Amino acid sequence: MTKKKGRQTVCFENPPVILNTYSIGGVKESEGPLKADFDKILDDDKWGEDSWEKAETKLQKEAVQGAMSGAGVQPENVDYIFAGDLQNQCVGTHYAMRGMDIPFFGIYGACSTMSESMSLGAMMIDGGFADKVLCVTSSHFCAAEKQFRFPLEYGGQRTPTSQWTVTGAGAALLGSDGKGPRITAVTTGKITDYGITDINNMGAAMAPAAAETLMAHFDDLNIAPDFYDLILTGDLGVVGSDILCDLMNKNGYNIYPKHNDCGKMIYDIKAQDVHAGGSGCGCMGSVFCGHIMKKLKNKELKNILVMATGALMNPSILLQDESIPGIAHAVAITAEKIGE
Amino acid sequence: MTKKKGRQTVCFENPPVILNTYSIGGVKESEGPLKADFDKILDDDKWGEDSWEKAETKLQKEAVQGAMSGAGVQPENVDYIFAGDLQNQCVGTHYAMRGMDIPFFGIYGACSTMSESMSLGAMMIDGGFADKVLCVTSSHFCAAEKQFRFPLEYGGQRTPTSQWTVTGAGAALLGSDGKGPRITAVTTGKITDYGITDINNMGAAMAPAAAETLMAHFDDLNIAPDFYDLILTGDLGVVGSDILCDLMNKNGYNIYPKHNDCGKMIYDIKAQDVHAGGSGCGCMGSVFCGHIMKKLKNKELKNILVMATGALMNPSILLQDESIPGIAHAVAITAEKIGE
């Protein structure tokens, strides 16, 4: 007997609270429509560091410190950090966390990291192992381009389906008790691969995983898309979002009126020339921890499903004729009071 | 109020059972002293695949299938997989798990992955979220050398402190109930950095993290090294093991008679010319899931502490004048009956 409902979903007995979040946006992000919703904005993408990689480390450090200090919480009161990023061996995260003096679990879910970390963090709390957990992620456009595609100096052309990796970070402090929106359920994804091989079309590679997790969520809880005010994906962008909505529609779920995607929201897609929209762990990290949390706090949003999606390849395995597997983890959040 | 004891340790109310394990060793590993303890041995390190990376994927696939089939468990009865490896973006793991149809959490703890996965797996079960969890990891010498150091064709000289990445994998199936050794407690590490910068001396980089987690474990539970028959680290090798034992001694803990290290056990260090011993996620993965589990089952070992250690850098961040942070997670296991 477990707390599971169906194959992939867990419902919490004592839904963990999102006590505080902190969101940081880079230069390009601060020129987009959500500029007012970041807690901090960079005026230079190196942010005083001597490399992009180290700037990403600083993003996570500052996000963690912001999330803690805004809640009046000291590091010694945080039981665990769950964090990861896109850099090889997640070094953005590790160098940020080495001074933290907080027990650390490293995770890798590519761009699904924000909802993977919140899933595990919420389970730690509801399972009785923690009172407070930090869930953290980031990405950096320049570090990611260099590592996954081409050096920026090369000036490569971007294809129409390509997305722009967000420079940004988000940290969410979860607690067993207190004021704030609550995580009521999580649905954990399976690795899904529909055979997409185009490294410049991450949205198409991740959309099938999003559809499968979303259908599992609805099935496991016996609910329909109408249950939510908003079904928010992480970084499917314009192309992947359309594929997700169409796939869901073919399976009998109309999510068109409920769906939005952080990768579509964070930029003014045409004016900022980002082709298919934003991507990267920091996309949902910064949008959820900034813009979305504000709307949950002021009750503009009441019941939402937050589902970050990750593409689980690396460049060398794609050169070995492999396709791109994806994963998506869903986190159900309510701003309503529970049990009243 | 949580199930935590002290700052970093959790004691389980219903200690999860290690129902079954499966261990695979590569060619060099099968020529060492533990050859009889692997469940499967490779006669070629590509194992019929067309790349080392794909061979590593096969290692994890076969380890998972072996762990399940030996326990008579079907994939649909496994609630979660926790797994990771050393390849960039953990692709060894992802391509292995994409066909599994089991909810998946990707983790990255470098060579600490085996005990990170068992820690989280045990918490999922004791927390009431899962009945069965698979904990999996692997490494591959050729894939790791190419990625972290030099192409093998270069024929680079190895320094005396360098270690040999194990080609191997381990999978452990944990359950809420049944026969087998039980996980009684886990101590989660913090990221620790004593300033080591030599990429050919991983043991020295990881030993301080091992010492800090071990001291936290003893402090949190108010026990001494004598409590255990064996304190087993993952891949400190000869150099790192000496540093760990000396560091512990300086802090008042005599672990010399109780300590051993999978990286020292898996090879005949001199005869096999592996310099400071074995390393890699697959080192503890294959040694714990093979050799050690056999000794727990036949009660040669009764109370052990298993602590894999990870070095959390990547090559490009080391070129940016960074030192190497480490982490270690400890898992306490008893072969004795509980509550009788």
Enclosing H/E stretch for A175: strand A168-175
Provide, rounded to the nearest whole percent, the portion of chain B with pLDDT above 90. 95
Contacts of B177 in chain A (CB under 8 A): none
pLDDT value at B171 more than 70: yes
Instruction: Give the residues across from A311 on adjacent strands.
Output: A326
Nearest by Cα to A176 from A14, A1, A2, A13: A14
**b/e B34-58 (16+ beta carbons within 10 angstroms → b):** beebbbbbbeebebebebbbbbbbb
Give the long-range contacts of residues B315-319, CB within 8 A, separation 24 or more: B315/B147, B315/B148, B315/B149, B315/B199, B316/A53, B316/A88, B317/A53, B317/A87, B317/A91, B317/A95, B318/B197, B318/B199
Q: Cβ of A94 and B124 within 8 Å? A: no
Return the pLDDT at B1.
63
- Which structure tokens are listed for B12? 């389980």
What average pLDDT does the structure give for chain A?
A: 97
Whether B325 and chain A come into contact, CB under 8 Å, resolves to yes
Block residue for tokens 């001597």: A50
pLDDT value at B270 more than 80: yes
B92: region left, alpha or beta (phi > 0 left; psi from -120 to 50 alpha): alpha
The nearest CA of chain A is from the CA of B37 a distance in Å of 30
Cβ-count burial of A44 within 10 angstroms (0-12 exposed, 13-18 middle, 19+ buried)?
A: exposed
Nearest by Cα to A193 from A201, A211, A205: A205
Residue B18 · residue B31 · CB < 8 Å: no
Return the pLDDT at B339.
65
Convert the pLDDT of each residue in B273-290 to its tens digit.
999 999 999 999 999 999
Whether B75 and chain A come into contact, CB under 8 Å, resolves to no
Q: What is the ipTM of this complex?
A: 0.98
Residue in A closest to B82 by C-alpha: A107
Question: Residue A315, Cβ neighbours under 10 Å: how many?
Answer: 13
pLDDT value at A340 more than 60: no
Residue A116 · residue A261 · CB < 8 Å: no
Residue B249 · residue B256 · CB < 8 Å: yes
Nearest by Cα to A260 from A296, A284, A286, A227: A284
Convert the pLDDT of each residue in B36-70 to its tens digit.
999 999 999 999 999 999 999 999 999 999 999 99
Nearest by Cα to B18 from B132, B105, B127, B169: B132
- DSSP-derived pairing of the beta strands B132-139 and B80-84: parallel
Output the CA torsion sign for B145, B146, B150, B151.
Answer: positive
Convert the pLDDT of each residue in A50-81 to its tens digit.
999 999 999 999 999 999 999 999 999 999 99
| Distance in angstroms (rounded) separating the CA atoms of residues B92 and B115 | 18
Q: Cβ of A191 and B320 within 8 Å? A: no
Non-local CB neighbours of A250 within 8 Å, separated by 6+ positions: none
Angle CA A138–B107–B169, to nearest 5: 145
| Distance in angstroms (rounded) separating the CA atoms of residues A60 and A76 | 18
Whether B127 and chain A come into contact, CB under 8 Å, resolves to yes
- Choose among A8, A104, A320: nearest Cβ to B327: A104
- Which structure tokens are listed for A94? 């590790």
Return the pLDDT at B99.
85
- Choose among B3, B101, B188: nearest Cβ to A190: B101
Return the pLDDT at B67.
98
User: Span B221-242, mean pLDDT?
Assistant: 98
Provide, rounded to the nearest whole percent, the portion of chain B with pLDDT above 70. 99
